[in-house]
Structure 1
Amino acid sequence: MFRRTTMIFAAMMLTAGTAYADPIEGNWRTQSGETAAIGDCGGGYCITLKTGKHKGKGIGKVSAQGGGQYSGTITDPATDKTYSGKATLTGGSMKMRGCVLGGLICRSQTWTKQ
């Protein structure tokens, strides 16, 4: 009986990870109106545009820092320039920030969860 209970518990733990996706995962409406998909890509979360002129283009990768904070890189799809990036989740919105020169020059956008 103990062995059977242990096996059931182990199976539940293996499937529990897929049921609880990270809040950053999903589709997001960018400030310019395009849709970006964020999904687990091994060691972080990859950001890919799903609509618009640059549809299908990967535009970044971030890793969780805790407390709704993420950091990594963000790429401007129009210029292909990559910046250090941060994302901060607050409810159904996310502030994306890309910086150069150690944070001296930054641009931010607010995205909303779809």
Structure 2
Amino acid sequence: MKRMSIVIAALAAIPTIAHAEDPIIGNWKTELGDTTAITSCGGGYCITLKSGKHAGKQIGTFKGRDGSYEGRITDPDANKTYDGSVTVSGNALKLKGCVLKVVCESQTWPRL
């Protein structure tokens, strides 16, 4: 019985392995200075504005993992939605939105 107690104590001392969040999760600052939050939602990720005149509006949905994502992004001023992609490298998020994959615009957002 003493031997079993030692084994249980040893197992309890092993640190648990935490699953790291996907690098897209977090708060980001847009080029206009607004704050966005990217969270898990519906099997992917949602971008929601947290500050500025469109605060509370969801402006994007993306799927992917490990720093590379595809989805849709909405320009909240024009209320138009475009195909988009996101790549995350360190503390920088590069977002690209395209019309018919021909005319594209990109922005880079720093992590907050």
Matches within 5 A, 1:26-105: 26-64=26-64, 66-101=65-100, 103-105=101-103
What is the deviation of 1:52?
0.2
Larger Rg: 2
CA distance in 1 between partners of 2:27 and 2:67 (Å): 17
Q: What CA distance in whole angstroms lies between the structure 1 residues aligned with 2:31 and 2:108?
A: 6
Task: Using structure 2 for the length normalisation, give the TM-score.
Answer: 0.82
Unaligned residue ranges in structure 2 (runs of 5+) = none
Q: How far apart, CA to CA, are the structure 2 residues paired with 1:79 and 1:52?
A: 15
Instruction: State how far apart, in whole Å, the 2-side matches of 1:32 and 1:63 are.
Output: 24
Give the distance between the partners of 1:42 and 1:84, measured in 2 at CA. 18
Letter in structure 2 aligned against 1:62 = F
SS at the partner of 1:52?
coil
Residue 38 of structure 1 aligns to a residue in which SS? strand
* Unaligned ranges ≥5, structure 1: none
Instruction: Name the % identity.
Output: 53
| Aligned position for 2:21 | 21
The aligned length equals 101
* TM-score for the superposition, normalised by structure 1: 0.80
Structure 1 runs, 4 residues or longer, greater than 3 Å off: none
Question: What is the Cα deviation at residue 72 of structure 1?
Answer: 0.4
Note if contact 2:23-2:66 (Cα within 8 Å) is conserved in structure 1: no
Q: CA RMSD in A?
A: 1.8
Question: Structure 1 CA distance, aligned partners of 2:103 and 2:59?
Answer: 19
Q: For residues 71 and 22 of structure 1, what CA distance do their matches in structure 2 show?
A: 14
